[in-house]
Chain A
Amino acid sequence: MIRVNGLTKDYGSRRAVDQLTFDAQQGEILGFLGPNGAGKTTTMRILTGYMPPTEGEAFVAGYNVMEESIEVRRRVGYLPETVPLYTDMSVFEYLKFMGDLRHLPNVEDRVDEVLEQVGLLDRADGMVHNLSKGMRQRIGLAQALLHRPEVLILDEPTIGLDPGQVVEVRKLIREIGKERTVLLSTHILSEAQNICDRVLIINKGRIVAEDTPEKLQARLLGAERVMLRIRGEMDDLPALIEKVKGVQTVDVREEGVLEFQFAPGQDIRPEVAKAVIGAGYDLLEMRPMGMSLEEIFLELTNSETRTDERGAK
């Protein structure tokens, strides 16, 4: 449903998105995880047809975002980072206007439906400028859901919501994600783990990791990875290392290079080294991996978002 190939965006001399390539299937919730200024919003803006990329191409629901922008925009629901609302309209008027722009049949019934979904039906006649930040966020979400889009692009959908609402909105997104494609960005790790089927971690416009939340978490917390390089052929070296007590997995990367995993806290590197040398291999290098990932997560989960997470639980 979403296919991105070599996407690059420059703002003047600054490169905001750098050769981004990924895809998302129907019925998948893909999370964009990254610090502020990582290029999440820029990527989303390109996918929604708001701005063209400098290089590369992107397809949403089978249409090119550059060449068939209108077709893409018909099929995408978008909640921008700063929820854009006409503050001088009532909630109902605002959503009706958005529905009319999209030529929806029976707009008024549909508006009532989405207001029900986001739990704001009782505020339909209230003016937008009287709403709290969390309510505005939900109106923005209602606007994105209005035309039952095939692809939903949500930029920080739970920001500014109180803990109860966060749970509600996440439930709503999970439900929508069963049938449609959802791409959402967040800088809250627990949120990505909670809702997403797959997570892309981007930093400085590049994808630095891509996996399911479980695997990412395992890489992050559950195990330590070590890369090992030997001279010559490996033969039965993987099997040998697997036998060392404490080793969880062994992956061959290329000829002469493999990675093994062990539970954190019980450093078994000396044992592995002894086993390798004992079997007559020439050990060239042994280096811990995955540390950079941890660093990125540390950068992400700064003290501010940690309190957010606690609040959300």
Chain B
Amino acid sequence: MRTLWTIAKREYNQYFNSPIAYVVMFMIMLVLGIIFAIVVRSSMQSALQSQMYGGSMSAPDNSPITGNIVFLLVFSIPALTMRLVSDEMRMGTMELLLTAPVRDWELVVGKWLGAFLFILTIVALTLVYPLILNGLVENGLDQSKLLASYIGVMLVAAALLGLGVGISSMFTNQIAAFFLTMGVFIFLWWLIGFPAGLVQGNSSIFEYLDMKAHFYDTFNTGRIMLADIIYYVSLTVLGLFVGTSAVEMRRWR
């Protein structure tokens, strides 16, 4: 555990030494800020309209914000994970880590944990938007819904980072790792959902694999389902397993 923590800590600090982390942080906050402004503005307009013409409207909730955090993570995580393991190989420091008393899985999981803590930091910063919204809405936001959505965000982040670390372990070249990671994300997030609509009859396997459905249909509407938790945790474990195997295989070359 101590070794794991040492590696995670170094990785976490590393992010604050590199511009890419600040760029990612800035972009996420900026885009979310814009979306937040639009959400607030349109809610106010519809509130005004319902006051003038009667009728009912639902109070705004956190779902546009958390929904977009997840969307932004799909695009930014490849940039955050691409160098995690591949850079160690390029710099030759892999030789150092693989000859220190560090198990291969500790190395991979430590890297993942460092990146996960960094994403948690960003996600914590985004809490500012729901908090503002909470003040704007009468009676406040539905807090259990907010909690469910954020648990979902963390699980999605964990899974994406797991896959990213796994792919980074297979390459010495960061750019190759970046594009493959992005490709896998696009596939799991968007493309895999299409066959579900096309295939007649039993399309449940495609529906099950669709990564976005496990978030938007449940967590983001305030429901926590065990099946979704299992789905994201499985993806995380799969990514970390691939990463550990890749590091191990590198020794045999």
Residues of A within 8 A of B (CB): 11, 45, 48-52, 70, 73-74, 76, 78, 80, 82, 84-88, 97-98, 100-103, 143
Contact = CB atoms under 8 A, between A and B. Distances in A.
Contacts of B252: 51-52
Interface stretch (B2-10, B27-35, B180-188, B191-199): B2-10
15 contacts: A49-B98, A49-B99, A51-B251, A70-B101, A73-B101, A78-B99, A80-B99, A82-B95, A84-B92, A98-B96, A100-B2, A101-B7, A101-B97, A102-B100, A103-B3
Most buried by A among B3, B95, B251, B253: B95
A50 B6 CA distance: 20
A101 B93 contact: no
Interface string B66-94: 00000000000000000000000001111
Contacts of A80: 92, 95-96, 99
B58 interface: no
Contacts of B17: 88
Contacts of B94: 84
Contacts of A82: 92, 95
Given A51-B252, A78-B99, A101 B91 contact: no
Contacts of A85: 93
B51 interface: no
A86 B93 contact: yes
Contacts of A102: 100-101
B14 interface: yes
Q: Is the interface of B mostly helix, strand, loop or mixed?
A: helix
Contacts of B251: 50-52
B95 A50 contact: yes
Name the residue among B6, B96, B251 with the largest chain A CB count within 10 angstroms: B96
Contacts of A98: 96, 100
A198 B91 CA distance: 33
Interface of B: 2-3, 6-7, 10, 14, 17-18, 91-103, 251-253
Nearest to B104: A69
A11 B92 CA distance: 19
Given A80-B92, A80-B99, 18 more contacts: A11-B253, A45-B99, A49-B99, A52-B251, A73-B99, A73-B100, A74-B101, A76-B99, A78-B99, A82-B92, A84-B92, A84-B93, A84-B94, A86-B93, A88-B18, A97-B10, A100-B2, A101-B102
Nearest to B17: A88
B6 A100 contact: yes
A88 B14 CA distance: 8
A74 B102 CA distance: 9
A-B interface, 9 closest residue pairs, ranked by CB to CB distance from nearest: A84-B93, A48-B99, A84-B96, A100-B6, A84-B92, A73-B101, A74-B101, A80-B95, A78-B99
B67 to A, nearest CB: 35
A102 B102 CA distance: 8
Nearest to B2: A103
Contact of B91 (A11, A50, A87): A87
Contacts of B10: 97
Contacts of A88: 14, 17-18
Contacts of B98: 49-50
A62 B17 CA distance: 42
A97 B102 CA distance: 13
A121 B97 CA distance: 24
Contacts of B3: 101, 103
A86 B83 CA distance: 13
A104 B131 CA distance: 44
A86 B14 CA distance: 10
A86 B18 CA distance: 13
Contacts of A84: 91-96
Nearest to B94: A84
The listed residue with most A CB atoms (<10 A of its CB), out of B3, B14, B99, B251, is B99
Nearest to B3: A101
Contacts of A52: 251-252
A143 to B, nearest CB: 8
A143 B99 CA distance: 12
B96 A70 contact: no
